[in-house]
Structure 1
Amino acid sequence: MMSIYENVIEDFHLLHPKLKQRYRITPENAFRGKGVMSEISGGSFVTRLLCRAGTIFRCFFPERGRDIPFTIENKIWLTKKNTPVAEWNRTFFFPDKRRHFDAVMIYDEKRGEIIDFFGHPPILISSLYFKAEANGSLSIISVKQWFPLFGKKIPLPKCFYGFSVVNESYDEEKGCFTIDVHVKNQIAGTLFLYKGTFQEAGEDND
């Protein structure tokens, strides 16, 4: 079975071999990793208050800090109609709190794109654009966004978008994946950003 990401990542062949392996997740091949976020920052006082509400949905959180341990789990499961669903579970271990940033992604065959549902139940929906860069890294950019309401997707005005730019790469010298995420709004500026490194669970951490 081909991973849903192989269907949408432009120039998939350009990815570093470790990233190819990471994004070839199927029902039989999950990815689990652990690492450290060197920085989690961004967001005004009001933004952080809104993020606090997101903790109810295991999505978004107000805490910020440096050198925060985290784990990530990516796995695929099939619906009754055999539609693959990619589950993303991220856990951040702050000194006095454990926070989550969970989502599920599906492949929209008609649009040929990945749709990301943030939270349980979802509180934000976004379409994503994936592209393999010439240096072997992967860029992920949010495109359109919706608010879920009574089973429908309500389009959000662009002024309410949380535009996200994600870059994942593999550092050969350090033997680890790198992650850099920046989410911003046209009016409020930076809402949230984090960057760090991680390794696949079971790999040598030395």
Structure 2
Amino acid sequence: MAAQKRTSIIEAASKLFLDSGYDGTSLARIAEAAGVSKATLFKQFTTKAALFEAIVTEYWRVDDEEAPVPEPGNLRAGLETIGRRYAGLLTQPGMAALFRIVIAEVPRFPELGETQFRLGKMPYFESVRRYLVAEKTAGTARLDDAEMAATQFLGMISNYVFWPRMLLPHWEPDDSAIAGAIDQAVLTMLARYGTSKTSR
């Protein structure tokens, strides 16, 4: 029941932040929209900033037990797994709305952008960077700058799967188009960073 209420609060807050703005949404309105008492909401989230942090963390959450970072040794398979997982994160319901909230409010509330970067994007990005370093150690990737390589790989996927949604509300590539974009990103990475040990 507590988990259901938390989900209801996060969903209601996300919608209200998008519709009315971060500043224009009170915790009382969120409680009403979520169908919970103000006491229940305040028990879980004492401030609006804490609630926004929970929203960001929820959208970027990857279950490490169900979706562990790939083991090094097969660069193609590892990148395919990471690519599919990243596309799944970016296309989940609400992710585009979360970015729109941040983009709209960051001039007045820069801490929202910092929260999205610190709790959302960077932990995921860092896991990809560490994976690429592990592949280099295993001899299946040749790279001097794992941070740049991670930026390139994730950027190739997000530039097709996600960023057009910021300007084109009906941008909805189908599963085959998304899979094709991931495949092309993987092939580009293999051509640039693969070694003789890489499974091609």
Q: TM tier, shorter chain?
A: under 0.3
Higher alpha-carbon Rg: 2
Q: Which is helix-richer, 1 or 2?
A: 2
